[in-house]
């Protein structure tokens, strides 16, 4: 059932993930609101990326990984048998830590997703879609004259925005970002952050980040993970100024992590 | 300058010496390999280059058109069968020596012409029926001993009765050569004929076509199977005992002696499926079985070398695993797969043993024209020629080896070229 009052996009209940016999996250229950930016922070190995990858079932690819608990997207359990991960991933896009454009032309990069999902049947529609996606990703002015160039020849920041545009092109509801700026310089990071804020008007964004400043700058809500547990989840300003938990306090003030 | 104490200087010197030594060893071993290769190629080249030429004899011939043409004026095979072409050739040849009248002398004189010369003459008129009834000058093959003598490869120091040519015959050849009635000319028959009992008309074309047909089957059979198997093993197979078992066995297959694949082909393809003997189809399948493990190993390595982030990117966009593999990973792995394939093909091209078992070691005088017609392959042809008694086959096998090596060089350069070309995209 969709909980319309709070505009919840994702509801997760007691999600635990195991890699073989090793538990990576432990009974995480977290609700994510629509058209907002939710940041997941925490020290390395705390399970935040694992949790993120549960949301579009990218963990399926890892052979010995098993997921327990419930994850509801718009009220539907995404781990139920009726849900095809292929269609789920069209709804829940993902941007990775290292920019990973395909070693093909810029146009082909953006057009690939729509093509396999049957969006944009002819060349003109596809061209429109590519232009629109690049525009949303704030990249159109930089690349519109060289759509046929190889995407891997662009700068790191541009490549990452290509990846964002590529995710947008299949018209998802949610965009997952796994430390999207950790391989980028501060200027490129600023551009991506700006882009995230503007995208959050139309998309639900969940971002994993190592940088607490970044979480503070871009997100409305923040969840703090530690050793596979969700320690605290709340409004970003509150987490950063007056957290309820001592551990959160220690982490954001830099005592560990 | 950084201050160095004596100890450090000593160690630095030792290190530099060790590095120098290693460099020298490397250069030495590379030069040794190059010298050996050069020796091999030069010795084969020296014994093989003379096969590019062949002794021909100039003959004046006039053939009556009534003997070979049918009523409509076309060349009649039936009538041509009745013509004594060999007789025409020897009669014309003997006119060079009007002083010879004895039967025995005439016979040893005739032996200097190739026994295929009459056939060559017939072929000529079949192609040029307009030349019938005219006095024409035609160059026909001399016998292989004649040929070897003209090339200086005939050992005359042996006692006359142990030789294949008598002193009288040698004198005749000297005379013909002096009068420019016989000459060494470019050996066309080597390039346009299939095998023959007579070295002067034996050619490599049948074997080249046979090898090409065989390798076509090999690549059509092995490449798709091997690539599909490696995609499955890398992307779909669940790790476990069965997968491990398959993996170990693929590696074992790559190390199995090739003759075993021949035995397998003999019992399965010929025995069970009843496919034709000596056919490129069966040879190609046998060699394909042999090549599959090589391609699988190379393909898996190059699929694994593609960064997993590419696969993740495709999956995150909602591509299925098959789409991720076909659209993104395989194109990036293609150069590696291609290299593995061509190396496997080169190996198959040089392979004789499996072909022995399925009957591709055969004396076949027709150039094969289909995948099921009897054929032989280049290495087998070399093997058979080097086994023949006639000296003239010796130089022909050397030339055929040069051909084979040439093919291998072309294939390997193609592999390098294609790899460079595809790698640019990355």
- Write the DSSP assignment of B355-398 as a string of letters: HHHTT------SPP-STTS----HHHHHHHHHT-S-HHHHHHHH
In a domain, B8, yes or no: no
CA distance B328 to chain A (A): 7
With 50 as the cut, is the pLDDT of residue A83 above it? yes
The domain covering A8-252 belongs, at the CATH homologous superfamily level, to: P-loop containing nucleotide triphosphate hydrolases (3.40.50.300)
pLDDT number for residue B22: 96
With 50 as the cut, is the pLDDT of residue A3 above it? no
Beta-bridged to residue B387, according to DSSP, are none
B424–chain A Cβ distance below 8 A for any pair = no
Query: What chain B residue is nearest to A94 in terms of C-alpha separation?
Result: B316
pLDDT number for residue B198: 87
In a domain, B197, yes or no: no
Q: What is the pLDDT of residues B185-211, one digit of tens each?
A: 999 889 988 898 888 889 999 999 999
In a domain, B256, yes or no: yes
pLDDT number for residue B21: 96
- Which helix (H) or strand (E) segment holds residue B223: the answer is helix B205-231
Contact A100 B312 (CB under 8 A): yes
B89 and B148 co-located in one domain: yes
Instruction: Please classify residue B335 by burial: count the beta carbons closer than 10 Å to its beta carbon, then call 0-12 exposed, 13-18 middle and 19+ buried.
Output: buried
Q: What is the pLDDT of residues B227-262, one digit of tens each?
A: 999 999 988 888 889 999 999 999 999 889 999 999
B239–chain A Cβ distance below 8 A for any pair = yes
Helices B280-305 and B330-349 pack at an angle, to 10 degrees, of 140
With 70 as the cut, is the pLDDT of residue A6 above it? no
Alpha-carbon gap, residue B126 to B154, rounded angstroms: 35
Share of chain B above pLDDT 90, in %: 47
Domain CATH code at residue B295: 1.10.3720.10
Segment B55-79 shows an average pLDDT of 85
A237–chain B Cβ distance below 8 A for any pair = no
B151 and B260 co-located in one domain: no
pLDDT number for residue B402: 93
B70 and B157 co-located in one domain: yes
B170 and B287 co-located in one domain: no
Domain segments of chain A as ranges: 8-252
With 60 as the cut, is the pLDDT of residue B41 above it? yes
B39–chain A Cβ distance below 8 A for any pair = no
Residue position matching structure tokens 């005088």: B365
B222 and B168 co-located in one domain: no
B235 and B135 co-located in one domain: no
B326–chain A Cβ distance below 8 A for any pair = no
* Averaged pLDDT score across all residues of chain A: 88
Chain A residues within an 8 Å CB radius of B310: 100, 102-103
Contact B315 A166 (CB under 8 A): no
pLDDT band at B25 (very low <50, low <70, confident <90, very high): very high
Chain A residues within an 8 Å CB radius of B330: none
Alpha-carbon gap, residue A125 to A119, rounded angstroms: 9
Got the DSSP string for A97-127? SS----SSBHHHHHHHHHHHHT---SHHHHH
B113 and B154 co-located in one domain: yes
Strand pairing of A65-73 and A76-77?
antiparallel
**Residue B300 CB contacts under 8 Å (≥ 6 apart), including other chains:** B230, B233, B234
pLDDT band at B3 (very low <50, low <70, confident <90, very high): low
Chain B residues within an 8 Å CB radius of A90: 317-318
Provide the 10 A C-beta neighbour count for residue B39. Answer: 10
Provide the 10 A C-beta neighbour count for residue B34. Answer: 10
pLDDT number for residue A8: 83
With 50 as the cut, is the pLDDT of residue A53 above it? yes
CA distance A55 to chain B (A): 11
Provide the 10 A C-beta neighbour count for residue B83. Answer: 17
Token pair in block for residue B131 = 């030349």
Contact B318 A170 (CB under 8 A): yes
CA distance A167 to chain B (A): 6
B94 and B230 co-located in one domain: no
Alpha-carbon gap, residue B23 to B26, rounded angstroms: 5
Alpha-carbon gap, residue A192 to A213, rounded angstroms: 14
Segment A174-197 shows an average pLDDT of 90
Residue B141 contacts residue B117 (beta carbons within 8 Å):
yes
What total number of domains does chain B contain? 2
Q: What is the pLDDT of residues A224-245, one digit of tens each?
A: 998 889 999 999 999 988 888 8
Report how far Cα A195 is from the mean position of its chain's Cα atoms. 13
In a domain, B26, yes or no: no
* Start-to-end C-alpha separation, chain A: 38
293-312 in chain B: CB under 8 A from chain A: 307, 309-312
- Which whole-number Å values give the CA distances from B179 to B101, B156, B168, B318, in the listed order? 21, 22, 17, 84
B172 and B235 co-located in one domain: no
Segment A182-191 shows an average pLDDT of 88
pLDDT band at A257 (very low <50, low <70, confident <90, very high): low
ipTM surpassing 0.90? no
Q: Which candidate in B244, B310, B318, B332 is best for mutational testing of the A interface (most A CBs within 10 A)?
A: B318
Got the DSSP string for B28-46? HHHHHHHHHHHHHHHHHHH
Q: Which candidate in A86, A93, A180 is best for mutational testing of the B interface (most B CBs within 10 A)?
A: A86
Segment B81-89 shows an average pLDDT of 89
Token pair in block for residue B249 = 């066995």
B303 and B413 co-located in one domain: yes
Segment B86-106 shows an average pLDDT of 88
- Which whole-number Å values give the CA distances from B24 to B12, B13, B17, B158, B208, in the listed order? 18, 16, 11, 50, 42
Nearest alpha carbon to residue B191 among B24, B51, B384, B345? B51
Token pair in block for residue A199 = 């995208």
CA distance B316 to chain A (A): 6
Task: Tell me what percent of chain A is helix, strand and coil, each rounded to the nearest 5.
Answer: 40, 25, 35
CA distance B313 to chain A (A): 7
pLDDT number for residue B134: 86
Alpha-carbon gap, residue B179 to B94, rounded angstroms: 14
What is the C-alpha R_g of chain B? 30
B119 and B178 co-located in one domain: yes
Strand pairing of A204-208 and B136-141?
unpaired
Q: Given B128, B159, B186, which residue is the final one in a domain?
A: B186
Contact A93 B316 (CB under 8 A): yes
Segment A171-186 shows an average pLDDT of 90
Residue B53 contacts residue B186 (beta carbons within 8 Å):
yes
Provide the 10 A C-beta neighbour count for residue A141. Answer: 9
pLDDT number for residue B133: 86
pLDDT number for residue A219: 92
Strand pairing of A229-235 and A221-226?
antiparallel
Domain that holds residue B108: 53-186
Q: What is the pLDDT of residues A93-108, one digit of tens each?
A: 999 999 999 998 999 9
Alpha-carbon gap, residue B324 to B320, rounded angstroms: 6
Residue B303 contacts residue B237 (beta carbons within 8 Å):
no
Q: What is the pLDDT of residues B8-20, one digit of tens each?
A: 889 999 999 999 9
Instruction: Please classify residue B25 by burial: count the beta carbons closer than 10 Å to its beta carbon, then call 0-12 exposed, 13-18 middle and 19+ buried.
Output: exposed
With 90 as the cut, is the pLDDT of residue A141 above it? no
Q: Given B138, B153, B186, which residue is the final one in a domain?
A: B186
In a domain, B42, yes or no: no
A89–chain B Cβ distance below 8 A for any pair = yes
Alpha-carbon gap, residue B188 to B185, rounded angstroms: 9
CA distance B242 to chain A (A): 15
Token pair in block for residue A87 = 């269609």
Q: Which candidate in B238, B239, B240, B317 is best for mutational testing of the A interface (most A CBs within 10 A)?
A: B317
Alpha-carbon gap, residue B241 to B377, rounded angstroms: 41
Q: Helices then strands (H, E): number in chain B?
A: 19, 3
Query: What chain A residue is nearest to B237 in terms of C-alpha separation?
Result: A63
Chain A residues within an 8 Å CB radius of B332: 103
B295 and B383 co-located in one domain: yes
In a domain, B47, yes or no: no
Token pair in block for residue B348 = 């198959």
pLDDT number for residue A2: 43
**Residue A57 CB contacts under 8 Å (≥ 6 apart), including other chains:** A78, A79, A85, A88, A89
How many contacts (CB atoms, under 8 Å) link A and B?
A: 65
Contact B318 A102 (CB under 8 A): no
Q: Which candidate in A113, A115, A117, A130 is best for mutational testing of the B interface (most B CBs within 10 A)?
A: A113
Token pair in block for residue A205 = 């964004």
Q: Given B186, B219, B235, which residue is the final one in a domain?
A: B186
Contact A93 B315 (CB under 8 A): no
């Amino acid at each position: 059932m969709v909980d319309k009052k709070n505009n919840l996009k994702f509801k997760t209940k007691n999600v635990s993930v195991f890699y073989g016999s090793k538990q990576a996250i432990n009974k995480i229950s977290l609700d994510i609101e629509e058209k907002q930016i939710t940041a997941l922070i925490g020290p390395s190995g705390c399970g935040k990326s694992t949790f993120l990858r549960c949301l579009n079932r990218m963990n399926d690819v890892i052979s010995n990984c098993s997921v327990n608990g419930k994850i509801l997207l718009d009220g539907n359990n995404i781990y139920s048998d009726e849900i095809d991960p292929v269609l789920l991933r069209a709804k829940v896009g993902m941007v990775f830590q290292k920019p990973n454009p395909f070693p093909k032309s810029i146009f082909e990069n953006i057009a690939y997703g729509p093509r396999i999902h049957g969006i944009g049947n002819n060349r003109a529609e596809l061209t429109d879609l590519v232009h629109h996606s690049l525009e949303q990703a704030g990249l159109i002015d930089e690349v519109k004259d060289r759509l046929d160039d190889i995407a891997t020849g662009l700068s790191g920041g541009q490549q990452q925005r290509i990846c964002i545009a590529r995710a947008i092109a299949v018209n998802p509801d949610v965009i997952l970002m796994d430390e999207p700026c950790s391989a980028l310089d501060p200027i490129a990071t600023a551009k991506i952050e700006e882009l995230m804020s503007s995208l959050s008007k139309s998309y639900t964004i969940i971002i994993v980040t190592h940088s607490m400043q970044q979480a503070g700058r871009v997100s409305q809500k923040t969840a703090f993970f530690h050793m596979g547990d969700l320690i605290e989840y709340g409004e970003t300003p509150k987490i950063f100024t007056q957290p309820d938990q001592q551990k959160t306090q220690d982490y954001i003030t830099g005592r560990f992590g | 300058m950084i201050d160095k104490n004596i100890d450090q200087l000593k160690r630095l010197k030792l290190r530099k010496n060790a590095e120098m030594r290693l460099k020298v060893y490397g250069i030495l071993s590379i030069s040794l390999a190059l010298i050996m290769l050069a020796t091999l190629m030069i010795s084969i080249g020296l014994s093989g280059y003379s096969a590019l030429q062949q002794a021909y004899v100039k003959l004046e011939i006039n053939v009556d058109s009534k003997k070979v043409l049918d009523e409509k004026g076309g060349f009649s095979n039936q009538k041509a069968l009745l013509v004594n072409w060999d007789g025409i050739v020897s009669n014309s040849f003997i006119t060079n020596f009007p002083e010879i009248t004895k039967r025995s002398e005439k016979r040893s004189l005739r032996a200097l012409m190739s026994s295929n010369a009459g056939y060559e003459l017939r072929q000529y008129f079949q192609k040029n029926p307009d030349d019938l009834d005219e006095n024409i000058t035609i160059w026909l093959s001399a016998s292989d001993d004649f040929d070897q003598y003209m090339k200086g490869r005939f050992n005359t120091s042996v006692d006359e009765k142990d030789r294949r040519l008598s002193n009288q015959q040698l004198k005749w050849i000297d005379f013909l050569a002096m009068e420019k009635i016989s000459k060494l000319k470019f050996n066309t028959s080597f390039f346009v004929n299939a095998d023959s009992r007579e070295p002067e008309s034996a050619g490599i074309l049948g074997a080249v076509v046979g090898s090409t047909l065989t390798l076509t089957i090999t690549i059509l059979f092995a490449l798709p199977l091997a690539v599909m198997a490696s995609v499955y093993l890398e992307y779909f197979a669940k790790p476990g005992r069965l997968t491990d078992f398959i993996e170990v066995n693929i590696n074992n297959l790559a190390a199995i002696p090739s003759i075993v694949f021949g035995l397998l082909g003999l019992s399965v393809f010929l025995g069970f499926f009843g496919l034709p003997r000596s056919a490129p189809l069966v040879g190609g399948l046998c060699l394909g079985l042999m090549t599959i493990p090589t391609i699988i190993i190379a393909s898996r390595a190059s699929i694994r070398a593609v960064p997993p982030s590419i696969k993740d990117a495709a999956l995150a966009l909602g591509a299925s695993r098959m789409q991720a593999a076909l659209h993104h990973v395989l194109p990036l792995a293609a150069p590696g797969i291609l290299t593995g394939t061509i190396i496997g093909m080169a190996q198959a091209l040089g392979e004789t043993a499996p072909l022995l078992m399925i009957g591709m070691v055969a004396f076949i005088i027709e150039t094969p024209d289909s995948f099921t017609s009897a054929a032989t392959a280049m290495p087998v042809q070399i093997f058979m020629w080097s086994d023949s008694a006639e000296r003239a086959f010796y130089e022909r096998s050397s030339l055929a080896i040069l051909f084979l090596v040439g093919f291998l060089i072309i294939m390997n350069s193609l592999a390098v070229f294609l790899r460079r070309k595809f790698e640019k995209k990355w």
